[in-house]
Amino acid sequence: MFRPKALLIWAVFAVLMIVPLVFAAFSPLLEWRDPVYIMAGFAGIIGLAIMLAQPLLVAGLLPGLPPSRGRMLHRWGGVLLVGAVILHVVGLWITSPPDVIDVLLMRSPTPFAVWGLLAMWAVFVAALWAAMRKRIPLRYWRFGHTVLVSLAIVGTVPHAVLIYGTMETVTKTLLCAAVIAATVKVIITRKAWRIRARQTSR
C-alpha cells in the first residue's frame, strides 16, 4: 500500500507525463495540420516524456517499483524512445522533405533544428551503446551511457523550448525542467564521473 509521500511522487510524475500531451491535444494549431504532421509532433512529445521516466526507472526513484522491474522498463523505455524519434523524423520527412534534408546537412537556419539533430544522433548512439553492454566493462559502459544520455538531453531541451508549436509553453517548460532535474539527480547519485578514480585505485 502506497504511503502519502509515494502517492505524491507518482501523482507528480503522472501529471508531468500526461498533462503536456493533453494540452497539446487541444492546441488550436492542430486545426491546420495534416495527420502525419500531428503524429510526428506527438511522437516528439512522447519522446520527451519518456526522457523523464528513464532516469527515474533506472535509479529506482519511483516508489513501490522493484529495482529489477524498473531496469526492465528502462530498457523498454529506451526502445520506445528510439521509436518515437524515428516516427518524429519520418513524419516530418513525409510532410516536408526539404526541411529535414536541410537539418541533416546542417543547413537549416533555425537554431532548434541543430539542437534536434544533436539529440537525434545522441539517442541513436546511446541505444547502440546500450546494446553493447555485455561487451564493455561496466564502469566504462556506465560512463559512456551517461555522457550520451546527457548529450541527448542537452539537445532535446533547447530543441523543444525553442519550437513554437502544439506544446503549451508552461507545461512544456515544466516537463523540460523535470527531465533535467531527474537526470542530474541520478548522475550525482550514481557518481558516473568517478570512472578514473576507480581505475587508479586498482
Which pLDDT belongs to residue 192?
Answer: 62
pLDDT, one tens digit per residue, over 152-186 is 999 999 999 999 888 999 999 999 999 999 999 99
Please name which of 145, 160, 131, 162 lies closest in space to residue 46, comparing C-alpha atoms: 160
Could you tell me the maximum CA-CA distance found in the chain, to the nearest angstrom?
62
Which pLDDT belongs to residue 200?
Answer: 40
Cβ-based neighbour number of residue 197 at 10 Å: 9
- Give the relative orientation of helices 67-95 and 35-58 as an angle to the nearest 10 degrees: 160
What is d(CA 114, CA 137) in angstroms, rounded to the nearest whole number?
32
How distant, in Å, are the alpha carbons of 78, 86, 167 from that of 187?
A: 17, 26, 28
The CATH number of the domain where 48 resides is what? Answer: 1.20.120
Please give the tally of structural domains in the chain: 1
How distant, in Å, are the alpha carbons of 9, 19, 144, 159 from that of 170?
A: 20, 11, 33, 15
pLDDT, one tens digit per residue, over 17-28 is 999 999 999 999
Please name which of 103, 181, 83, 192 lies closest in space to residue 148, comparing C-alpha atoms: 192
Report pTM. 0.91
Cα 196 to its chain centre, rounded Å, is 27
CB 141 within 8 A of CB 129: yes
Please name which of 93, 153, 77, 147 lies closest in space to residue 119, comparing C-alpha atoms: 153
Cell of 43: 511522437
What is d(CA 86, CA 79) in angstroms, rounded to the nearest whole number?
11
CB 151 within 8 A of CB 118: yes
Domain of residue 195, residue span: 4-200
List the pLDDT tens digit at each of the 202 positions of the chain: 568 889 999 999 999 999 999 999 999 989 888 999 999 999 999 999 999 999 999 999 999 999 999 999 999 999 999 999 999 999 999 999 999 999 999 998 899 999 999 999 999 999 999 999 999 998 889 999 999 999 999 999 999 999 988 899 999 999 999 999 999 999 998 776 565 544 443 3
